[in-house]
Every structure is written in C-alpha cells, then in structure tokens.
Amino acid sequence: MREPSAAQQGGQSRRSHRPAPVRPPDGPLVDLQRQAGNRAVTAFLRGGASVQRAVVAEYGEIQRRLRPGTFGWVSDTDEYWIIRQLIGIPPVDFHDTVIRMQADGVLGTFFAELPSDARSVAGTIIARIERIRDGRMTAEEQLTHRRRLDWVHSPGDADQAFAALRGLSDADRTAVLRAIPVAEYEAWSRLLRPRTDPGELRFLQTVEVIAQGTTEADLAARQRAFLLRQAQAQGKTLEQFLRGEASTRGYGGRRALWWPSLRPARQQRWQQRFTTALGRVRTAAPPEVLAALTAAEGRGGGIRFGPQQVEEEGADTYAYRQGDLLVVGRLWLLTAERNPANVFENIVHELGGHHDYGRELAWDVMLDATTPAERAVAMAGGQSLYSAYGYLETELYAELRELPFRVPGSRGDDPEHDVEDQLRQIHTSYETGVGAVVVRAFRRRIAHDARITPAALALYDRKVRLVFGIGF
Ligand SMILES: [Zn+2]
C-alpha cells in the first residue's frame, strides 16, 4: 500500500526546516521486513525460488519525491520514506532499483539531500547503495544482488566468489546458481585455484548438483524409488534387497590359513623382513608418498604388517586400511622387497587418496534415500552397505591419486581397469540420472583438486564417456 506523500497529506510546503523526526528504527522497519518476507514467501510458493527481477513497486513515487519541482528541496521525511522502501526487499530488486535511480539521474539528489543523521540510522543500507553506485559490490553482493559471475577475472576473484557462495544459505545459493549463465559459471570454474581442503572440495560437488538443476534431496528421492523398484522386482522388502547387495559386494568374513600355520620363529623372521622393507620404502619414497606416510604416522597410524588380518579380508587381499593404518600382508611385503617403488601407488592410494577424500556425495544420497532402521537390517549380516554404495566414490578418487605412481606390472591396482569398474558399479547401483549427476559432481571436484594430475583427469573423462556416454 502506498503512503500518501507529505505534500498530499497537509498541503504544507515540502521545504520544511523541521528537524527530521527521530525514527524508531524498529517498528515500521520490522513491519517492512515482515512484508518483504511475506512477498518473498508468496513468490516462492507461486512458482519456485526465482524472484521476478524488478525495481520496487514504489519506484514511481521514489522518483517523484526526488524531483521536488520548483523548490529544489527534498525533505528528510521523503528521504527516510525512500530508504524504508529499500529495506527488506529482495537483493536483486534492491540492486535494480539503485541502478535505475542512477540511470534516471535521481540517485545524486538522493545523496545530496541525505538527512544529517541518515548514516547513523541507516548506515548499512546507504553503504550498500554507494557500493552499487560505484561498482564496488562485494563478492556476496555480486552474487545475491546481480546473480552474476561476470566480474570474476582472476584466480583471486574466483576464490572470493567461492567463499561467498559457501557463505550463502542453501536457498540463496540455489537461487543464485540457477540464475548464473552457464558460460560465466564455467569461466569461474576455470579460474578457481586448485585446492586440497576436503570440505571445500566436497562443496564443489554441492555446487555442481545445483548447477545440474537438481538438489541432493531430489537425488535421494529418485534413488529411493530406484531401490524400491529393484526390491519389488525381486519380490523383496527394501531391507532384504539392500542386505543382498551388501553381502554380494561387501568385504570380510574369510579364514586365515597360511599365517596361523607358521611357527613363531618363522613369523618373527617375516616381521623382520617387513621392518627392513619398510625402511627401504621410506628411503626411496618421493615427496608425495613420504608426506602421505608421515602424515598418517603423525595421526597414530602408518603401515603395519598384519598378514593374518589381511588373509581374513580375502585370499587375494594385498592390504587394507583402517583409518590411518595401512595393514599389509605377505604379498605386499614380497612386492616391496622386489622394488620399493612398486608399493608407492598403494601407499598414496590408501593413506593419501582414501584419507584425503572425506565425505562422498553418493553415500550422502544413500543416507538420505534410506532410513537408519533400513540400513541396520541391511547390515545385520555383517557386510557393509557402505562398501556396496558409498565406497565407490572414494575408491575412484584413490585410484586417480595413485596413477602417477603406478609401476606397470607391479601388484596392486590397475587404475585403467579399476576406474572403469567403479564407474560401472556407480552406473548399476544408482538410478541413471542420479549416477550421471554423481559423476559430473565428482568431475567438478577433482578438476580443482591440486593432487589430481592432467593424466588422471583425462583417464576419468575417457572412462565416463565409455560408461555413461557423458563428455566433459
Ligand atoms: Zn581403495
């Protein structure tokens, strides 16, 4: 509703020397905030998160009050009235209104006639107007007021945009990312500096999910429907189906035969051989391998000889990881004895890759797609649902990390084969559309990971094209 202008109210001259009324900043401002909030909610309920870009509805009146005619004077009442119109409106409307005021030549009048106490009463909003006027918007304002990334011209700008995106609420981030032109988004991504922080890298996956026009909640809903369809097709409940998947693809549960058959003296000799071999590995290790090893040791882990436990994991098991501890068996030791460089890839894979990856998007989707009770029943057989669904992504990453240290013909993994295998498992375990978003989000993430080499990225791209038919 429009407030009648001072001139309409009493016919009194607008050239008034009355001091500006002391405004209780709370009452009317809070009301305005509330109205603006309701407007935003209404817009949201009517048609999604996007807010129609427009100058404020009261723009005509703003313009009229700033063009006071013959007296060339704008009252403090009018100035405060204008400021109130700008409070609590959506940032895009705020920006567009200020730009329009500037274009129409009334912004100068607004500042020239600013009441003397305006900066103490409404300093924040006046500073915002000035930043828009002078083209000095903060990264956050560029995103929320303009919803653009066209101001990003350097790696420093790109990092600022990254930090600002991270600081937004989920709703704001979604609105901003949906509005940003694809070319600007890609240009920003190209400038963004490589990073190593797992939280920051995981955030890039969140960003890409939104850029793909979906949400993690939506992915979870689609994945749940997919799991239910599979269960139904097999005449099973969801819990039974998941338990079957876990037992087919989970690890563990074998009996060790070789190690328990050895006499203590022989076991002792194997242990000594391991100590010698590990010393040689450490001496020969290149910086990234040594860094992964010493960091794990610093966290109370490292590499231990555990031939019995390794056998229990499975007859062909080479080594396994438990947190920061890499437990290795007989085969690993023989490989390291032949040539210490042959186990570098395994150390980087296990103590570097798996440790550094952090939370998986795909597993987060599964956690949202299933209830704790369903997962508990699914894992009652002792096999891990995580190794069937969540592990795929961290394994993919660990394979790519070990690529530069790969020695052809050594034991251990073969990234060329294993990357494809993990992608095929993601393709079968996740609903097609969900899997496609997972591999795109993973790509966005690893492209900014300082430890992923161009060759590793190229391998990933080649395999995604092969398995998913998606090109980057
Ligand atoms: Zn692994």
CA of 422 to the centre of ligand 1 (A): 11
* 243 assigned to some structural domain: yes
Domain match, 187 and 300 both: no
Are 222 and 320 part of one and the same domain? yes
Rounded to the nearest angstrom, the distance between the alpha carbon of 454 and the centre of ligand 1 is: 21
Q: The domain containing residue 19 runs over which residues?
A: 6-136
Residue 354 lies in a domain: yes
Ligand 1: centre distance to CA 394 (Å): 7
Identify whether 269 is part of a domain.
yes
CA torsion sign for 105, 109, 110, 112 is positive
Same domain, 240 and 166: no
pLDDT for residue 30: 37
Residue 403 has what DSSP assignment? G
The number of domains in the chain is 3
Ligand 1 center–CA 27 separation, angstroms: 60
159 part of a folded domain: yes
- Note the pLDDT of residue 72: 66
* 411 shares a domain with 353: yes
> Has residue 256 been placed in a domain?
yes
User: Which residue type is seen at 178?
Assistant: R
Å from CA of 390 to ligand 1 middle = 12
Asked if residue 129 and residue 24 are part of one domain, the reply reads yes
Q: How far is the CA of 52 from the centre of ligand 1 (A)?
A: 48
Nearest to 81 by CA among 96, 71, 68, 70: 68
List CB contacts of 211: < 8 A, sequence separation 6 or more: 177, 185, 444
Distance 233 CA to ligand 1 centre (A): 32
Q: What separation in Å is there between the alpha carbon of 321 and the centre of ligand 1?
A: 8
User: What φ, ψ does residue 375 adopt, rounded to 5°?
Assistant: -70, -35
Shared domain for 162 and 222, answered yes or no, is no
Distance 177 CA to ligand 1 centre (A): 33
Residues 227 and 323 in one domain: yes
- Return all residues near 10 (Cβ < 8 A) that are at least 6 apart: none
Question: Do 109 and 154 belong together in one domain?
Answer: no
Q: Are residues 119 and 261 in the same domain?
A: no
CA of 368 to the centre of ligand 1 (A): 24
Calculate how far, in angstroms, residue 351's C-alpha sits from the geometric centre of ligand 1: 9
Q: Are residues 248 and 345 located together in one domain of the fold?
A: yes
Same domain, 153 and 131: no
Q: Are residues 154 and 104 part of one domain?
A: no
**pTM score, two decimals?**
0.81
Residue 223 lies in a domain: yes
Residue 206 lies in a domain: no
Q: What separation in Å is there between the alpha carbon of 389 and the centre of ligand 1? A: 14
Cα–Cα distance, 252 to 315 (Å, whole number) = 10
**Is the Cα torsion angle 230, 234, 238, 241 positive or negative in sign?**
negative
pLDDT in tens, the chain (472 residues): 333 333 333 333 333 333 333 333 343 333 333 343 333 333 333 333 444 567 888 898 898 888 866 566 888 999 999 999 999 889 999 999 999 999 999 999 999 999 999 999 899 999 999 999 999 999 999 999 999 999 999 999 999 999 999 999 999 999 999 999 999 999 999 999 999 999 999 999 999 999 999 999 999 999 999 999 999 999 999 999 998 888 876 666 678 889 999 999 999 999 999 999 999 999 999 999 999 999 999 999 999 999 999 988 877 788 888 889 999 999 999 999 999 999 999 999 999 999 999 889 999 999 999 999 999 888 887 777 888 888 889 999 999 999 999 887 776 678 888 999 999 999 999 999 999 999 999 999 999 999 999 999 999 999 999 999 999 9
Ligand 1 centroid from CA 305, angstroms: 18
116 C-alpha to center of ligand 1: Å?
Answer: 66
Q: Output the CA 187–ligand 1 centroid distance in Å.
A: 33
In a domain, 371, yes or no: yes
CA of residue 53 to ligand 1 center, whole Å:
49
